[in-house]
Amino acid sequence: MAMMSHLRAILQASPCKTLEKVPDSEVHACKALQPLHLHLKSRNQVLHPLWEKVDLAPAGEHQSPINIRWRDSLRSWLTAAHHLFCLHVWNNGYSFLVEFEDSADKSVIEGGPLEHNYRLKQFHFHWGAIDAWGSEHTVDSKCYPAELHLVHWNAVKFENFEDAALEENGLAVIGVFLKLGKHHQELQKLVNILPSIKHKDTLAEFGSFDPSCLMPTCPDYWTYSGSLTTPPLSESVTWIIKKQPVEVDHDQLEQFRTLLFTSEGEKEKRMVDNFRPLQPLMNRTVRSSFRHDYVLNIQAKPKLPTSQVTP
């Protein structure tokens, strides 16, 4: 039982398998690129204890997080609707979770890569000890200082979140990168409550909070088939990663870093670097909801006559 509840706590902590380090070949490929890769390399040397053992689960081919290569993506669409409001916020010893009442379709996402409606269950964050890294996913090897995960489950196919989390097409997780910039007023409401959940297994009531205030205005996103990024690492997640980051200020991220992995009375260990190392893309395709002007620009091809314009 203790093990099950521990597993469930981690499961709820975040969507996210085996702990393969980035292969040497990828590290070499990184060196050919930019200083950003220095961050990526350093990031991969900061392993949470959870990721120090490689035998957590059998190897799979659809693991998360991954590095998104902009040029690989294809097109697709998503519509999202959030109307809603939260139950409580708690420290599960790996992140802090804002949980929602999910007995009805109060906040759902649909469309794009999703065949069904998915209900919001909880959201949480991953962040670094410093601002140079912290996100789980990376884009063209760029790390962000933090990443928000809004975890939704397929209430059409499954009875409850716990069942959905273990099965294919069970979950849809929206990932939003956080970058350093201006103060985020709505996020501050959440930041203000963090001192009351400093220790592992502490919980605070949180009243109403509409998570759509944490979403970027730009609708563009990437999507791919992946996994939970915490044990049991089930390959149950349709990932939807927003292209545009949201801005937060340094002090807000510093407040995240005052939380503890540890319970009251234990030797204090700061809650930082709570992300899983990157996983290989394997035989998967990342699709995007937008055109690849970035790629078109660098190709610098001569313009075609209008009658030959390609889609």
Interatomic CA distance for residues 154 and 118, integer angstroms: 5
234 near Zn ion, judged by CB under 5 A: no
Return the range that interacts with Zn ion (CB under 5 A); candidates 14-22, 65-73, 235-243, 274-282: 14-22
Report 164-183 residues binding Zn ion (CB under 5 A): none
Cβ 243 vs Cβ 303: under 8 Å: no
Nearer Cβ to Zn ion (142/276): 276
154 near Zn ion, judged by CB under 5 A: no
Return the range that interacts with Zn ion (CB under 5 A); candidates 2-10, 113-121, 147-155, 244-252: 147-155
106: which 2 tokens? Answer: 């109060």
Return the range that interacts with Zn ion (CB under 5 A); candidates 76-84, 111-119, 148-156, 179-187: 148-156
Rounded to a whole number of angstroms, the minimum distance from the CB of residue 194 to Zn ion is 17
Nearer Cβ to Zn ion (30/68): 68
Can you give the length of the chain in residues? 311
Interatomic CA distance for residues 99 and 107, integer angstroms: 12
14 near Zn ion, judged by CB under 5 A: yes
Nearer Cβ to Zn ion (30/146): 146
Cβ 170 vs Cβ 164: under 8 Å: yes
227 near Zn ion, judged by CB under 5 A: no
Interatomic CA distance for residues 36 and 141, integer angstroms: 7
Nearer Cβ to Zn ion (82/149): 149
Of residues 82, 204, 218, the one with CA closest to residue 150: 82
Chain position whose Cβ is nearest to Zn ion: 14
Nearer Cβ to Zn ion (94/158): 94
Quick one: which of 17, 137, 149, 199 contacts Zn ion (CB under 5 A)?
149
Residue 188's Cβ-count burial label (10 Å; 0-12, 13-18, 19+) is middle
Going 51 to 56 to 60 to 62, the CA torsion angle's sign is negative
Consecutive H or E run containing 27: helix 24-31
Binding site for Zn ion (CB under 5 A): 14, 149
